Amino acid sequence: MTRAFKDKVWLSSPTMHGEELQYMKEAYQTNWMSTIGENINEVERIISEKVGCKYAVALSCGTAALHLAVKLAGIKPGDNVFCSDMTFDATVNPIMYEKGNPIFIDTEYETWNMDPVSLEKAFKLYPDTKAVVIANLYGTPGDLDKICGICEKHGAVLIEDAAESLGATYKGRQTGTFGTYNAISFNGNKIITGSSGGMLLTDNPDAANKARKWSTQSREAAPWYQHEEIGYNYRMSNVVAGVVRGQLPYLEEHIARKKAIYMRYKEGFKNLPVSMNPYDDTIMEPNFWLSCLLINKDAMCKQVRSDSDACYVSEQGKSCPTEILETLSKYNAEGRPIWKPMHMQPIYRMNPFITRDGSGRARTNAYIAGEGADTGADIFARGLCLPSDIKMTEAEQDKIIEIIKSCF
Ligand SMILES: *Cc1c(COP(=O)(O)O)cnc(C)c1O
C-alpha cells in the first residue's frame, strides 16, 4: 500500500504556540526561578476562573494533586476507597500511598467510565466506604449526576480525577468541579501541558490552605523551620507555570481540533464494523483528548494476550487491536491499547472488583472478548486509542483511516 509516514504521527504530543517561551523567559529574567512567582499566581487565577472552582493549588503533577485529595478526604490505612477500574494507574497510586484499600468498580459502556449501577452494588457490599475516586477517561465525563447522587446518599466524599478531561463539560458545568476535591494534570500528553504539572481544585478554603501547606513541606508559621505534620515537596515550578500560562489561551482551540479529529475518524469508519468511544451529546461535551475505536464483537479476529505479549490470527473482514496497533506502528504512527483495567493488573490481583451482578473477581482473566467478560476487560480486549495528535494533518489522518480499513 502506501509508504510509511516520514515524521511519526503521535498519539498526543505537546503543541506549543510561542507565548510559553515568553513566560518562561520572564521567570528567568525576573529571577523567579522557584516555586513562587507571577506565573504560578496567574495560572491558579485563570484556571479557577475558567473551570469555575473557588480555589486552585498549583502542584508538581496531577498525581500529587490526587495524593493531597486522598489525604484531604481523610483516608487512613485500611480504609476502603471505591475507584474507577478502567483508568491510568495514577488514579489509584495515591490511595496506596496512604495505605487505603482500593475497591475497583466496573465500567459502563455508555461513557467508558465508572458504572453507577456497580457503584450502588459496591455500597451494598461495603456500606462504610468513605470516598470514591472517579476518572473521566479520554476526556469524556462519566455519568456525574448519578455518581454524585450515590455519593451523597451514602455520605461518601467524591474525588474527581479530571487529569484527562480539562475543558470537558457535563450539563454545562466543567469537569474538575464535581468532586469535593478534584485533580487536573499538565503532563506532556494532556490537552494542554506545562511539560509537567497539575492542580488541586476545590471550593473549600480550608482544604486549599491545607494543600498549600502540605505541598510546601508543611512549614508552620514561625521564624524557623517548624513542623507539626508530614510535608511534601509538591509545589509547581514558576518555569513550568510559565508554559501552562502560555498554553491556557489555546485550550479551546485544542479542544476544537481534537473534536474535528474525532468526527473525521467517525465519518471515515462509518462502513467498518466499529464504533468510537461514546458520549451522550445531549448532556455532555467531552474535550475529545483521545479518539478511540471499539471493534464489534462479531468482527474480532482471534486475539490472545498474556501479561506481556499479544498475538492474533488475521482473518478477512475481521481485525483486533493488536493487528491494528502493529500495522499503525509499521507505518510510523502511534496508537495505544485501552488503559488496561486495574482489576487485571498483577499488583491489584487481591483487591475486590465489583460488577453489576456482584463481584467479577472470578472472571479477572477474561482477556478474550465475549460472553462472561466484565465491561472493562471487554473494552480492553476490543478497543484501542488512535493517533490523536493536534498537529496531525487531514491528509495524514486520511492515511491512518485507510491503514485501519486495510486491517479488515
Ligand atoms: C495523566 C493522568 C494522571 C496523572 O497526572 P500526572 O500529571 O502525570 O501526574 C492521573 N490520572 C489520569 C487518568 C491521567 O491520565
Q: Whose CA is nearest to atom 8 of ligand 1?
A: 187
Average pLDDT, rounded, for the chain: 95
Counting ligand 1 atoms within 8 A of each CB, the residue from 66, 85, 161 with the most, and so the one to mutate, is: 161
Q: State in Å: Cα 226 to ligand 1 middle.
A: 32
Model confidence, pTM: 0.96
Measured CA to CA, the distance from residue 180 to residue 265 in angstroms comes to 36
Looking at the DSSP assignment, which residues form a beta bridge with residue 311?
A: 304
pLDDT in tens, 292-343: 999 999 999 999 999 999 999 999 999 999 999 999 999 999 999 999 999 9
For the chain, give every residue range classified as CATH 3.90.1150.10.
251-406
CA distances from 156 to 119, 150, 159 (A): 12, 8, 10
Please tell me the predicted confidence (pLDDT) of residue 2.
73
Q: Whose CA is nearest to atom 14 of ligand 1?
A: 163
DSSP 8-state symbol, 3: P
Counting ligand 1 atoms within 8 A of each CB, the residue from 107, 164, 234 with the most, and so the one to mutate, is: 164
For the chain, give every residue range classified as CATH 3.40.640.10.
19-248
Q: Are 324 and 357 in contact (CB under 8 A)?
A: no
Determine the average pLDDT of the residues in 31-46: 98
pLDDT at 368 over 80: no
pLDDT in tens, 86-99: 999 999 999 999 99
Question: Ligand 1: residues within 6 Å at CB?
Answer: 61-63, 87-88, 90-91, 135, 161, 163-164, 185, 187, 198
* CATH code of domain 19-248: 3.40.640.10
Determine the average pLDDT of the residues in 10-21: 98
- Give start and end residues of each alpha helix (H) in 52-141: 62-72, 93-97, 116-125
pLDDT at 359 over 70: no
pLDDT in tens, 134-177: 999 999 999 999 999 999 999 999 999 999 999 999 999 999 99
Q: Is 299 helix (H, G, I), strand (E, B) or coil?
A: helix
One CATH from 2.40.30.10, 3.90.1150.10, 2.30.40.10, 3.40.50.10490 for 251-406: 3.90.1150.10
pLDDT in tens, 247-257: 999 999 999 99
Q: Are 276 and 265 in contact (CB under 8 A)?
A: yes
